[in-house]
């Protein structure tokens, strides 16, 4: 039941409200049933694994091994959180308030850590579920997505208590829990609706987004040459009047052959794009490319290129008539762009590579955190998977008005689930930072997203086309942008205090038992 309800609540389905009861069945197993910890862990794991399979089955059209590993690991972690909650809850014989505090501390700490550790894959952070209901969550500019996770946990826990009390015929107490659950469900909606309007923006830029629609499986790395792909994009650019365009944005890895970063100006593809745009306007260009540098880090895989040891990067290039700046993707997709626990996973290398994964790691660094559209306006580059991580866009717009520029591919999946979920997650970054987002997809959905997370305009999937939009620049540093995931930090320190209390109380009880009863 939990798997079905959570799946129906998740984008692109339209039954978002079901998330407020989606965890009730799996919570009920602990709060009302006398299950031993191993039984509870297995049933919780089964619930989350089935949810992952239903909500992201589209991943298997890209990489079978990577998808299965992601689902197994993520559902194991989520079930492990509930297992630890149940163990501590039963050990302390916690009343509902303490029981929820334990649950909150474990769950939000897990989601917070899941944004930062080596196998970070927070695709199913609970707060992401509202990404296509942005009118409900304007307060994410204060809490980020973890505030949404706390909202979901609270309402589910309270409804679980209502069900437990009613099954035990404690109707008065159960009704009280029901009233509180309704309040907790409604108040955040009211807060979102009552938030003040954003200040009016005087300055804006005209931006061209190009979606070339190149199949990444059949064409991008096999049937089409890099020159053919560049020419296809240029054909779309040439259909647009560039006279008043300030910026042209092309998608992730349009340039497929890794360019040496010490000789960017010698790239034939860069020269061709530069000539096409700068001969007709003064517009700048942002384009996705593979780049390479001499190997200096053991964390990345090293390749031989013309007798030199090099590291490859998934990069975004900012190009104008005077300069080229490089941003390296800093958050790589586990099991696809990097291989965590490489020695342990070595027996699965052939399977991972046959399934489309990369058994190694691209390089990561921050050569340029922002691109200067003008002296007073900055672009914040975000590459594909990075758009799922709110903290990656924090504090990059603290001095100047900014625009988020997301480059992605999204053509790896044949079903709408993947590329629509990815599109909607980008809307969360706009709300958190109160910035407009320009999203250029190779084969996916390119879009213009305003500072409240509304999609102003978008392309169709699988159609080569362009978007032209007047995009305002905003300088409004939000609470989230300044202070980050406060909800996650509070939960983590709460968890540390809980663990200290739990361990010390067990030690005290053990000493008391030994002192009084061991003889």
Provide the mean pLDDT of the chain: 90
CB atoms inside a 10 Å sphere around CB 248: 25
Tell me if 411 sits within 8 A of 211, measured CB to CB. Answer: no
Identify the structural domains of the chain with CATH numbers, from first to last.
2-196+485-513 (no CATH), 204-330+365-481 (3.60.110.10), 332-363 (no CATH)
Q: Running DSSP on this structure, what letter comes out for residue 200?
A: P
pLDDT digits (tens, 9 = 90+) for 337-378: 887 766 666 676 676 666 555 667 888 876 668 999 998 899
| Residue that wins the pLDDT comparison between 518 and 43 | 43
pLDDT tier for residue 61 given thresholds of 50, 70 and 90? confident
Work out the burial of residue 199: count CB atoms within 10 Å of its CB; fewer than 13 is exposed, 13-18 middle, 19 or more buried.
Answer: exposed
d(CA 226, CA 220): 8
pLDDT of residue 305: 65
pLDDT digits (tens, 9 = 90+) for 77-98: 999 999 999 999 988 888 999 9
pLDDT at 209 over 70: yes
pLDDT at 519 over 50: no
Tell me if 249 sits within 8 A of 286, measured CB to CB. Answer: yes
d(CA 372, CA 16): 39
CB atoms inside a 10 Å sphere around CB 459: 22
The residue-averaged pLDDT of 99-123 equals: 94
pLDDT digits (tens, 9 = 90+) for 44-56: 999 999 999 999 9
pLDDT of residue 343: 63
The partner residues of 472 in beta bridges, in order of sequence, read: 204
pLDDT digits (tens, 9 = 90+) for 15-46: 999 999 999 999 999 988 878 889 999 999 99
The residue-averaged pLDDT of 157-177 equals: 95
- Which of 11, 271, 293 has its CA nearest to residue 131? 11
Chain centroid to Cα 350, Å, comes to: 28
Instruction: Show the tokens assigned to 151.
Output: 């909202």
Work out the burial of residue 404: count CB atoms within 10 Å of its CB; fewer than 13 is exposed, 13-18 middle, 19 or more buried.
Answer: buried
- C-alpha radius of gyration, the chain, whole number: 25
- Structure pTM? 0.92
> For the sheet containing 455-458, what is the strand order?
371-374, 377-383, 402-408, 437-441, 447-449, 455-458
Residue with tokens 């999937």: 461
pLDDT at 488 over 70: yes
pLDDT of residue 234: 96
**3 Rama class: left (phi>0) / alpha (psi -120 to 50) / beta:** alpha
d(CA 425, CA 129): 9
d(CA 417, CA 402): 30
pLDDT tier for residue 436 given thresholds of 50, 70 and 90? very high
The residue-averaged pLDDT of 123-146 equals: 97
Mind giving me the DSSP string for 23-62?
Answer: THHHHHHHHHS---HHHHHHHHHHHHHHHHHHHTGGGGGT
pLDDT at 298 over 60: no
pLDDT of residue 75: 96
Lowest model confidence (mean pLDDT) among 66-70, 74-78, 366-370, 510-514: 510-514
Residue with tokens 């946990």: 153
pLDDT of residue 327: 95
């Amino acid at each position: 039941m939990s798997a079905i309800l959570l799946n129906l609540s998740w984008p692109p389905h339209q039954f978002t409200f079901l998330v407020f009861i989606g965890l009730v069945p799996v919570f009920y197993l602990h709060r009302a049933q006398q299950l031993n910890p191993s039984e509870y862990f297995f049933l919780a794991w089964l619930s989350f694994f089935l949810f992952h399979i239903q909500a992201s089955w589209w991943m298997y059209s890209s990489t079978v091994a990577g998808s299965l590993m992601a689902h197994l690991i993520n559902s194991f972690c989520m079930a492990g959180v509930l297992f630890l909650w149940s163990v501590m809850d039963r050990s302390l014989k916690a009343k509902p308030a303490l029981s929820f505090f334990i649950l909150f501390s474990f769950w939000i700490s897990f989601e917070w850590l899941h944004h930062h550790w080596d196998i970070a894959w927070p695709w199913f952070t609970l707060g992401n579920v509202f990404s296509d209901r942005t009118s409900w969550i304007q307060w994410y500019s204060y809490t980020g997505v973890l505030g949404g996770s706390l909202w979901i946990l609270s309402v589910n826990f309270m409804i679980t208590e209502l069900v437990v009390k009613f099954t035990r015929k404690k109707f008065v107490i159960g009704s009280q829990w029901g009233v509180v659950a309704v309040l907790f469900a409604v108040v955040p909606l009211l807060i979102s609706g009552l938030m003040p309007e954003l200040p009016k923006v005087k300055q804006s830029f005209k931006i061209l987004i190009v979606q070339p629609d190149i199949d990444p499986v059949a064409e991008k790395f096999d049937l089409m040459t890099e020159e053919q792909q560049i020419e296809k994009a240029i054909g779309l650019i040439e259909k647009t009047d560039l006279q008043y365009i300030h910026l042209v944005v092309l998608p992730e890895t349009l340039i497929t052959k890794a360019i040496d970063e010490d000789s960017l100006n010698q790239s034939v593809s860069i020269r061709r794009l530069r000539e096409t745009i700068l001969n007709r306007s003064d517009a700048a260009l942002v384009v996705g490319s593979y780049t390479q540098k001499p190997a200096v880090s053991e964390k990345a895989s090293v390749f031989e290129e013309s007798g030199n040891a090099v590291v490859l990067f998934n990069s975004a290039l900012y190009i104008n008539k005077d300069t080229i700046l490089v941003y390296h993707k800093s958050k790589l997709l586990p099991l696809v762009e990097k291989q965590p626990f490489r020695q342990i996973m070595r027996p699965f290398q052939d399977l991972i590579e046959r399934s489309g994964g990369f058994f190694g790691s691209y390089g990561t660094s921050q050569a340029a955190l922002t691109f200067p559209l003008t002296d007073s306006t900055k672009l914040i580059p975000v590459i594909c998977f990075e758009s799922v991580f709110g903290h990656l866009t924090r504090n990059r717009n603290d001095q100047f008005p900014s625009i988020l520029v997301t480059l992605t591919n999204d053509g790896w999946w044949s079903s709408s689930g993947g590329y629509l979920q990815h599109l909607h997650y980008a809307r969360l970054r706009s709300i958190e930072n109160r910035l407009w987002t320009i999203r250029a997809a190779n084969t996916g959905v390119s879009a213009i997203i305003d500072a409240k997370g509304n999609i102003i305009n978008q392309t169709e999937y699988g159609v080569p086309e362009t978007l032209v939009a007047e995009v305002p620049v905003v300088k409004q540093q939000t609470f989230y942008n300044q202070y980050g995931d406060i909800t996650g930090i509070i939960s983590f320190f709460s968890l540390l205090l809980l663990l200290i209390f739990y361990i010390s109380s067990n030690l005290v009880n053990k000493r008391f038992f030994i002192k009084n009863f061991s003889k």
